[in-house]
Chains A and B, each alone.
Chain A
Amino acid sequence: AQSVSQHNHHVILSEAASLELGCNYSYGGTVNLFWYVQYPGQHLQLLLKYFSGDPLVKGIKGFEAEFIKSKFSFNLRKPSVQWSDTAEYFCAVNAPSGGSYIPTFGRGTSLIVHP
């Protein structure tokens, strides 16, 4: 079965610090990769996605992620975080499972940014 690992469960940063959240997945074939964010009291929403092409993808609010196929990784980065980035971040992989493509989510990383 497909698995997605997010290494950091809780991250605490000060404003302007750089951020990198790790995500690794287990499927060796073609996948679609996503990062979702859930701000306090809000729905899950898409932050960025990778389908093909340039392995460095840019999303909303200055976030980016790099797909490294050889490492089965899709780490999320932001050079300078803001207090408003405080949220839960989920990595997700869309891969074949039982004949269809379904998303598998990591357990999430809670990010707290201190002003």
Chain B
Amino acid sequence: GAGVSQTPSNKVTEKGKYVELRCDPISGHTALYWYRQSLGQGPEFLIYFQGTGAADDSGLPNDRFFAVRPEGSVSTLKIQRTERGDSAVYLCASSLTGGLAGEKGQYFGPGTRLTVL
């Protein structure tokens, strides 16, 4: 169980509902990233945590999106009032230290496929 895990693997919800997506990074990795990937596109950066704090949340599309990492390990991405346009695969990745000097590449989870009806 050394990899990044994400739950649920699939989530179907109705427009307007609230969803939470969970990410368990590799133990000891201080950097954690959330991405969104639409069909035919590369991962699109959402937010980056260094430890417990959000070091960069410039990729969050609007205030319906929020993420936390209260203890510096597990992270939850929260989406309020979901819209059909939120449908995508949400990827989580972790790395040992993050940042330019320490970045050695990220380890990705399998993703959560979110479908908003």
| Interface of A toward B, CB cutoff 8 Å | 4, 6, 30, 32, 34, 36, 43-46, 49, 90, 92, 94-108
Contact = CB atoms under 8 A, between A and B. Distances in A.
A44 B45 CA distance: 14
B116 to A, nearest CB: 23
Contacts of B107: 45-46
Contact of B100 (A49, A96, A107): A96
A63 B37 CA distance: 25
Contacts, number: 68
A30 B108 contact: no
A46 B103 contact: no
25 contacts: A6-B42, A32-B100, A34-B105, A36-B108, A43-B3, A45-B107, A46-B106, A94-B103, A97-B58, A98-B56, A100-B50, A100-B55, A100-B56, A100-B99, A101-B99, A102-B33, A102-B59, A103-B33, A103-B45, A103-B103, A104-B45, A105-B43, A105-B45, A107-B41, A108-B42
Contacts of B45: 102-105
Contacts of B41: 107-108
B107 to A, nearest CB: 8
B24 to A, nearest CB: 14
A10 to B, nearest CB: 10
B1 to A, nearest CB: 14
Contacts of B106: 46, 103
A98 B58 contact: yes
Interface string B42-80: 111100101000011011000000000000000000000
B104 interface: yes
Contact of A101 (B3, B35, B98, B111): B98
A45 B98 CA distance: 16
A100 B95 CA distance: 15
Nearest to B48: A102
Nearest to B44: A105
